[in-house]
Amino acid sequence: MATEFTQFKGTKDYIAATELKNSVNIAINLGRPLLIKGEPGTGKTMLAKSIAEDLGLNLIIWSVKSTTKAKEGLYMYDTVQRLYDSQFGDRDVSNISNYIKLGRLGEAFTSEQTSVLLIDEIDKADLEFPNDLLWELDIMNFYIPETKETVSARNRPIVIITSNAEKELPDAFLRRCIFHYIDFPDAVMMEEIIKVHHPHLEKTIMEKAIQAFYNLRNISGLQKKPSTSELLDWVQALVIGGAKPHQIVHDVPFMGVLIKKNEDIDKVKRQLDIQAGRKPASTGSSFGF
């Protein structure tokens, strides 16, 4: 008989592809961290929230910044505070544990209930950051030398790690993860996603918006392709601005919501003009041979 295992099914405001749900379930049931990569705006961060909601667990988010050190996720020892306190005798300085604060990973380990730990944008931190967390994520405990305590996970947290980068995570780290690359959603999937956020959207606007969106994404050589979250904002703009369906594909009103770079806007406008059979507006050309 097949063993019963935890099943993540997606939530009503988060549409997950079957493949993705599958990967989530594999990671949960094998007890490995799930590394999620994908273009910005494909809902990597939302995934953790959705898992927590669906399985009824609490969510702990550790947002990684360029200055984040691996140790901060475990605990912080506030030496300076302790030194000050020793001078003024405010608190009991002989008890070091008063000055130990657990980080996000530490919190997830000590939580009464199983929690979902999101390590968001791990690639932002220093190159060595993932390697420094290997042991803790593998063995699920860490040692605090100051208090001679070992913090072990009461309940193994479900660890979701997101990354935008392409090549920098170390091999040893990758080997311990389950990996999933969120492919960019296709038009059918996209329609479902939009429906979740704009349930009362007119069908024609929806169709035209999706058509226009994929048309823009297919223009080659854009520095930054528009992403799902930008599409959602744009649909909002279309609704508020009251755009006419027939304009959407060829004129792309409120283009600034989708395309953020000047060079890209010029390129898109030229392409749209060509597609619509209009004479392209001339742009400055450079001097060369």
Partner 1 sequence: MFVDFFFELRKEGVPVALNEWMTLMEGLEKDLAGSSLTGFYYLARAVLVKREAHYDRFDVAFARCFKDVETTPEMVEEALAVFKNLELTYREPPGYTRREKAELPEDYLKELAKHKITFLQRSRSEEETEARPSRPFGMGAKQPGAIRMGGDSMGLSALKVAGERQFKDYRDDLITGVRQFEMALRKLRQLSSRLEGPREELDLEETIDATANNAGMLSLVWDRPRKNTIKLILLLDSVGSMDRHIQTVSKLFTAAHRTTHFKEIKYYYFHNCIYEHIYKTHVLNDANRLPTDEFFRLHNSEYRLIVVGDASMSEPELTRPGGAVAMNEFNKEPGLIWLKRLARHFPYSVWLNPVPKVHWGKEPGHTTVPLIEKVFPMFELNPAGLEQAVNRIRLKNLN
The contact mask relative to partner 1 for 122-141 (x = CB under 8 A, - = no) is: -----x--------------
Residue length of the chain: 289
Site string for partner 1, 149-168 (x = CB under 8 A): ---------------xxxxx
Alpha carbon distances (Å) from 46 to 43, 49, 150, 158, 162: 5, 5, 32, 15, 10
Enumerate residues 6+ apart whose C-beta is below 8 A from 189.
15, 17
Smallest separation, CB 70 to partner 1 (Å): 18
> In degrees rounded to 5, what are phi and psi of residue 255?
-60, -30
Instruction: Using alpha carbons, list the distances in angstroms from residue 41 to 51, 88, 136, 213.
Output: 18, 51, 29, 14
Interface region with partner 1, contact rule CB under 8 A, candidates 108-116, 141-149, 172-180, 267-275: 172-180
Does 5 help bind partner 1 (rule: CB under 8 A)?
Answer: yes
Here's the x/- map for partner 1, 20-59, by CB under 8 A: it reads as --xx-xxx-xx-x--x-x----------------------
> 158, 115 in Cβ contact below 8 A?
yes
Q: Quick check: 145 binds partner 1 (CB under 8 A)?
A: no
Q: How far is the CB of 287 from partner 1 (least distance, A)?
A: 5
Can residue 19 be called a binding residue for partner 1 (CB under 8 A)? yes
Instruction: Determine if 179 is a binding residue for partner 1 (CB under 8 A).
Output: yes
Separation between Cα atoms, residue 9 and residue 17, nearest integer Å: 10
Q: Render 245-283 in DSSP notation, one character per residue.
A: HHHHHHH-TTHHHH---HHHHHHHHHHHHHHTTPPPPP-
Give the footprint of partner 1 on this chain (CB under 8 A): 1-3, 5, 18-19, 22-23, 25-27, 29-30, 32, 35, 37, 80, 83-84, 86-87, 127, 164-168, 171, 174-175, 177-181, 183, 221, 223, 286-289
